[in-house]
Chain A
Amino acid sequence: MSPDAPLSRTALHPNHIAAKGRMVPFAGWDMPVQYVGVLAEAKAVRTAVGIFDVSHMGRLYIDGMGSGDFLERLLTFSVKNLKAGRARYGFLLTEDGGIIDDTVVYQQSAEDGSKERYLLICNAANRESVTTWINQHMTGFPGVSMTDFTIESVMIAVQGPAAAALVDSLCVGEESPSSLRSFGSMSQMVKLGADASLVEVFIGRTGYTGEDGFEFVADADHGPALWDALVEAGATPCGLGARDVLRLEAGLRLHGSDIDNTKSPLEAGLERFVNMDKESFIGCEALKAQQERGVTQKLVGFQLLEAGIPRHEYTLFNDEKQIGEVTSGTYSPSLDTGIGMGYVFSEYSVLGSHIQIDLRGRPVEAEIVELPFYHRPK
């Protein structure tokens, strides 16, 4: 992507401008980083309900007979044994086991097997590399096709302890979205606008904040009215700034910062999203070999014991020895300290041990802690 290329706009761009969202370039899109303030928005999600425009993320249908077999070959988790409506999180890997992208895949096939379809959500910045990778590997699967419908649709994350009640109140179907389990999904009709017209919305019980929540996918045409209806029902518009704070507190990795195609799921501490026992997938052999010899570096989470915020590319030390680098960091409002993630040599990844971070020339003490930093109250 050329840095001079004009920024793409989601269908919700007019809503952000009307709400005085502060717009910034992100992965080629003009996106709101905040409306009133990062901390107020993060608090809304932790205590009530917030909404995020995540329409910049890639939405791909993988369709046709054999699409399950095809995805099984590309993904680190089993797709074929996903029950109708269920979703899973995992990775597309290079042959070397590096993470091309992390994705959520929803099973949308007909239960009687008459139709196969999967919905794959990828990161905005990786949409091109993911679609290219998928196309490159489609030979041998003549029945499979891919449709990128990112532009024609919107995606809105509705997150927070009050999300379920709010989402239920908007839906008119018999089955309420609050009956969904985590990583379940359904299609629902939502009443929108002055004429209360019914609009179909795909709803998954997924998110990137560490709270209960849902993600909506709907036609781009209906996006602005859907966003307005959510705001009217009491949701707080939240920008990318709050999203980053919330996902970091929840220990969720960000592709491009915490994971990329030079890091494997084993190094990133994400082996629970890799099923080595299922049929072979691209990158599986490399991971098995890596598992056997052990990883030399590991992603850790750390909490600062003094004031300050660790930021991307700050150096991590053990005494005088350089042991790694911060991949992402922020101020955690839930813990009222600086928190971060980064890779260190495996021998320094022990929970409870102390490391030092160079905060612009000031060495600051931090403790390696278990991820996530934040657990939502049960």
Chain B
Amino acid sequence: MSEHPSDLRYTKEHEWVRVGDDGTATVGITFFAQDQLGDVVYLVLPKVGSTIERDSKMGEVESVKSISDLFVPVSGEVLEINKDAIDHPERINEAPHDAGWLIKVKLSDETELEKLLSSDEYDQIIAS
């Protein structure tokens, strides 16, 4: 059974995107990504109000074992960052698709959503 909910969209860089009704999207890292990283201890996120471009680096997630760059899955303006997850990075391990979300974005180009993967497509990528 997949750990990756079918109502989310995914990237091959192991981020998920939850699209809201109001032209906003919530972004996080996948169950698979946090499982590979192990215990997350530090998180660097973009500033609220900044504009981020798809595929550019937007931050870092660091676990005891390793450090990984975070990439922007959808372009837009950063509306909110998860301060709770910055203070309690274990949220990302505990609930990567919920309480461990990273940022909320006001989408600047909704057509980018079409380039994201379904949960089935993402599961196929991590299985190969």
Give the residues from 32 to 65 in chain A that come closer than 8 angstroms, CB to CB, to chain B: 33-34, 37-40
Indicate whether B80 reaches chain A with its CB closer than 8 angstroms.
no
**B93, closest chain A residue (CB):** A37
Complex-state Cα separation, A38 to B41, whole angstroms: 11
- Asked if B42 and A241 make an inter-chain contact with CB atoms under 8 angstroms apart, the answer reads no
Given A241-B65, A330-B64, 12 further pairs, Cβ under 8 A: A34-B38, A37-B93, A38-B64, A38-B65, A39-B39, A307-B44, A309-B41, A309-B42, A309-B64, A309-B67, A331-B41, A360-B67
Q: Considering only CB atoms and an 8 Å cut-off, how many residues of chain B contact the other chain?
A: 10
A245 contacts B by Cβ under 8 Å: yes
**Which residues of chain B have a CB within 8 Å of any CB of chain A?**
38-39, 41-42, 44, 62, 64-65, 67, 93
A residues 218-275 in Cβ contact with B at 8 Å: 241, 245
Contacts of B67 in A (CB 8 A): 309, 311, 360
A360: chain B residues at CB < 8 Å are 67
Task: Give 16 A-B contacts (CB < 8 Å), ordered by A residue.
Answer: A33-B65, A37-B38, A38-B38, A38-B39, A39-B41, A241-B65, A245-B64, A307-B44, A308-B42, A309-B41, A309-B62, A309-B67, A311-B67, A331-B41, A331-B64, A360-B67
**Nearest Cβ on chain B to A297's Cβ, whole angstroms:** 27
Contact A39 B62 (CB under 8 A): no
For A, the interface residue count at a CB cutoff of 8 angstroms equals 15
Across chains A and B, the number of contacting residue pairs, with CB separation under 8 Å, is: 32
B93–A308 CB distance below 8 A: no
> In the complex, what residues of A have CB within 8 A of residue B41's CB?
39, 309, 331
CB <8 Å contact, B39 and A308: no
Q: Which residues of B contact A308 (CB under 8 A)?
A: 42, 62
Give chain A interface residues in 302-321, CB to chain B under 8 Å: 307-309, 311
A289 CA / B66 CA spacing, docked (Å):
41
| B38 contacts A241, C-beta separation under 8 Å | yes
Residue contact A241 to B64, C-beta cutoff 8 Å: yes
Report the nearest A residue to B90, measured CB to CB.
A39
With a CB–CB cut-off of 8 A, which chain B residues contact A38? 38-39, 64-65
**Chain A neighbourhood of B42, CB < 8 A:** 307-309, 331
Residues of A within 8 A of B62 (CB): 308-309
CA–CA, A309 and B62, complex, Å: 8
Q: Which residues of A contact B44 (CB under 8 A)?
A: 307
Q: Which of B38, B39, B42, B93 has the most CB of A within 10 A?
A: B39
Q: Which single residue of chain B is at the shortest CB-CB distance from A330?
A: B64
CA distance A307 to B62 in the complex (A): 10
Residues in A1-59 with C-beta less than 8 Å from chain B: 33-34, 37-40
Q: How far is the CA of A309 from the CA of B44 in the complex (A)?
A: 13
The smallest C-beta distance from B65 to any residue of chain A, in angstroms, reads 6
Min CB distance, A243 to chain B, in Å?
A: 12
* Smallest CB gap from A337: residue in B: B41
CB nearest to A244 among chain B residues: B64
Q: Closest CB of chain B to A223's CB: distance in Å? A: 27
- Separation of A360 and B61 alpha carbons in the complex (Å): 13
User: Cα distance A34–B64 when bound, in Å?
Assistant: 12
Q: Which residues of B have CB within 8 Å of A330?
A: 64
Bound form: Cα–Cα A38–B93 in Å: 12
Cβ of B39: which chain A residues have Cβ within 8 Å of it?
37-40
Give, as a whole number of angstroms, the nearest-CB distance from A273 to chain B.
Answer: 29
A276 to chain B, nearest CB (A): 39
